[in-house]
Amino acid sequence: MRFCGRLHDKGWKGLIDISTLFQDIAEIFRGQVREPFVLDYSEESLKEVDRMLSMITEPGQAPDDTLVLSAGAYLGETTIRLLGGEWRLDETELTDSSVLVEGCELWPFRRVRQRIYYGTQNPLYAWFEMARAGAAQEVKKLLQGQEQATLIRPTGHDPLVIKITKSPRNR
């Protein structure tokens, strides 16, 4: 079964629990990773995933869909476990699903794809730091008088972007 395909073509809508799906994919990824790498859903483990990706990929290489799905699920699940939040399913493309943390929408699969293509200039840990900053009250000040704002922090070849939307909790 190819997870990266179009979901509506497979009739999955309403048939899967998206959070359980991504948790399961993250757990499978953890189970496949061997020493010296330790994946325990900690901040430090995101640096481990970066090191592992450096060993198995080359900058400029087309990202493998299975690796993007696996590492992206782990990145998103780690973010949710450490910062709170939830998965948001993209019904067209599974690997365009996002994580919502305190009104901030982040795309872990896109970040993994960029990390593989651009190499260490786009570390996963920097994405997590941005997620943490997005959950902080200082970033919420961007929303004063607005319903949504976009925070952009350049990191190498591409910007690291998060969309922040007012929710009942941060109004």
Q: What is the mean pLDDT of residues 156-161?
A: 50
Residue 105 to residue 137: CA distance in whole angstroms = 15
For residue 6, give the DSSP letter. B
* 3 state DSSP class of 93: strand
Residue 44 to residue 80: CA distance in whole angstroms = 15
Structure tokens at 149: 């704002």
Largest CA distance in the chain: 50
- The answer to which of 15-29, 56-70, 109-123, 140-154 has the lowest mean pLDDT is 140-154
Structure tokens at 155: 């990191």
Residue 165 to residue 158: CA distance in whole angstroms = 22
Ramachandran area for residue 102 (φ above 0: left; ψ -120 to 50: alpha; else beta):
left
* 3 state DSSP class of 109: helix
Does the pLDDT at position 16 exceed 90? no
119 band by pLDDT with thresholds 50, 70 and 90: confident
- DSSP string of 50-99, one letter each residue: HHHHHHH--TTPPPPHHHHHHHHHHHHHHHHHHH--EEE--SSBGGG-EE
Q: What is the mean pLDDT of residues 34-60?
A: 92
Does the pLDDT at position 3 exceed 70? no
Q: Where are the domains of the chain?
A: 7-170
| Helix (H) or strand (E) segment spanning residue 124 | helix 124-135
CA distance to 33, 62, 113, 125, per residue, from 68 (Å): 14, 11, 6, 16
